[in-house]
Amino acid sequence: MARLQKIVIATLSLAFIFGLIATQIVASTGQTPVQDAPPRIDPPFADLRTSDLRDSFDEQHFGHRHEAIDIMEPLGTPIRSVDDGRIRKLFLSRAGGTTIYQFNDSGSYCYYYAHLDHYVDDLREGQRVFRGQIIGYVGTSGDASPNAPQLHFAIFRLDDDKRWWKGTPINPYPILLEAVKRIPPTDNAGIATN
């Protein structure tokens, strides 16, 4: 037993030392470890304001972490693609209702749009879409309240297997705040309002 403990301690010590060496090598080259930057997206609505956004990513909804935000908009409001990419999946589910899964061009992120009333005419899986293109309309499908039209919006960092239903959830709230500040909404006179 004592010999096994010595082996375990020696192994852990070597792992720690190699970790320190790797950190020093990275520091000496002036490089930082590679980390994915959050996606740079546009707002899903032409007139979205920072006051329209509320961070509900960590809230409990129906017994699980929300991992998305809900943006309240009038029924039938056009939803715009937040990034260039492809429609990966059009799906009808009990919880999300009428949904769209869109991958960005590099296939590293998936954008999930849920509770839609309907898709834009002729939208199909595999279709190329562009940032700002209308892809659907706000609704109350799935488990959304019939009195609360909304867009349930989520972002997932995709794994190597690129499954549309699975990935690492990323909080869209700060990403959308940055998008709205970068591209402020305009009123009918073309004057920026935020």
The string of pLDDT tens digits covering residues 14-55 is: 444 444 444 454 444 444 444 467 899 999 999 999 999 999
Q: pTM of the prediction?
A: 0.76
In angstroms, rounded to a whole number, what is the distance separating the alpha carbons of residues 172 and 46? 17
Residue 185 is predicted with a pLDDT of 74
Give pairs for 15-22: CB < 8 Å, separation 24+.
none
102-136 per-position pLDDT tens digit = 999 999 999 999 999 999 999 999 999 999 999 99
CB atoms within 10 A of CB 173: 17
Name the DSSP class of 126: T
